[in-house]
């Protein structure tokens, strides 16, 4: 009488099971890491946000041109506080701004 332990197919099946089990064990880790990436996404800054209003943030150049203190050509994209790649802004942590936007604390990027 032979058991699964001393049969070559049993060893192969056990290896396949362990391989499959280790793959299953990794699935939750993959999902957790993708959730973490989601958490790091920036939330678009809305003009209606009280912090945006306090600093007169507007999302377009058309609106910016009518704002007191606006200088021609100034926009988030060429602002010292703009974070290229994520459209983030150091003045509004966790938020993204429109590259064509503007606010009252705009400062030129050093050239
Ligand atoms: S600080 Fe600069 S990048 Fe941030 S919202 Fe104001 S103008 Fe845009």
In whole angstroms, give the CA distance from residue 59 to residue 101.
4
How many angstroms separate the alpha carbon of residue 22 from the centre of ligand 1? Answer: 47
pLDDT above 70 coverage of the chain, percent: 64
- Predicted pLDDT of residue 109: 96
Alpha-carbon distances of 35 from 12, 85, 100, rounded to whole Å: 36, 20, 30
Question: Any idea what the Cα angle at residue 105 is, between residues 101 and 109, rounded to 5°?
Answer: 75
Quickly state the pLDDT bin for 9 (edges 50, 70, 90). Answer: low
**Mean pLDDT over residues 77-89, rounded?**
97
Q: How large is the average pLDDT for residues 7-20? A: 57
CA nearest ligand 1 atom 4, residue: 89
Name the region of 66 (left: φ>0; alpha: ψ -120 to 50; beta: rest).
alpha
Residue with tokens 């099971």: 17
What is the model's pLDDT at position 111? 82
**Mean per-residue pLDDT over the chain, rounded:** 80
Q: What distance in Å separates the CA atoms of residue 45 and residue 55, rounded to the nearest whole number? A: 12
Q: Give the position, in ligand 1's atom list, of the atom nearest the Cα of 74.
A: 7
Q: Whose CA is nearest to atom 5 of ligand 1?
A: 103
Ligand 1 lined by 70 (C-beta under 6 Å): no
Query: How far is ligand 1, taken at its centre, from the CA of residue 34, in Å?
Result: 29
Per-residue pLDDT band for 2 (boundaries 50, 70, 90) equals very low
* Residue 52 Cα to ligand 1 middle (Å): 10
Taking only the tens place, the pLDDT of each residue in 22-74 is 544 444 444 444 444 445 689 999 999 999 999 999 999 999 999 999 999 99
Superfamily of the domain at 43-96: High potential iron-sulphur protein (4.10.490.10)
pLDDT of amino acid 34: 44
Regarding predicted confidence, which is higher, 23 or 88? Answer: 88
């Amino acid at each position: 009488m032979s058991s699964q332990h001393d049969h070559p197919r049993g060893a192969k099946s056990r290896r396949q099971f362990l391989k499959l089990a280790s793959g299953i064990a990794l699935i939750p880790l993959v999902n957790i890491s993708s959730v973490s990436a989601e958490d790091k996404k920036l939330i678009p800054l809305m003009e209606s946000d009280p912090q945006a209003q306090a600093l007169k943030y507007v999302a377009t150049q058309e609106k910016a041109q009518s704002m007191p203190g606006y200088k021609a050509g100034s926009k988030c994209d060429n602002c010292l506080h703009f974070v290229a790649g994520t459209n983030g802004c150091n003045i509004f942590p966790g938020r993204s701004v429109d590259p064509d936007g503007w606010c009252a604390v705009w400062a030129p990027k050093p050239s």
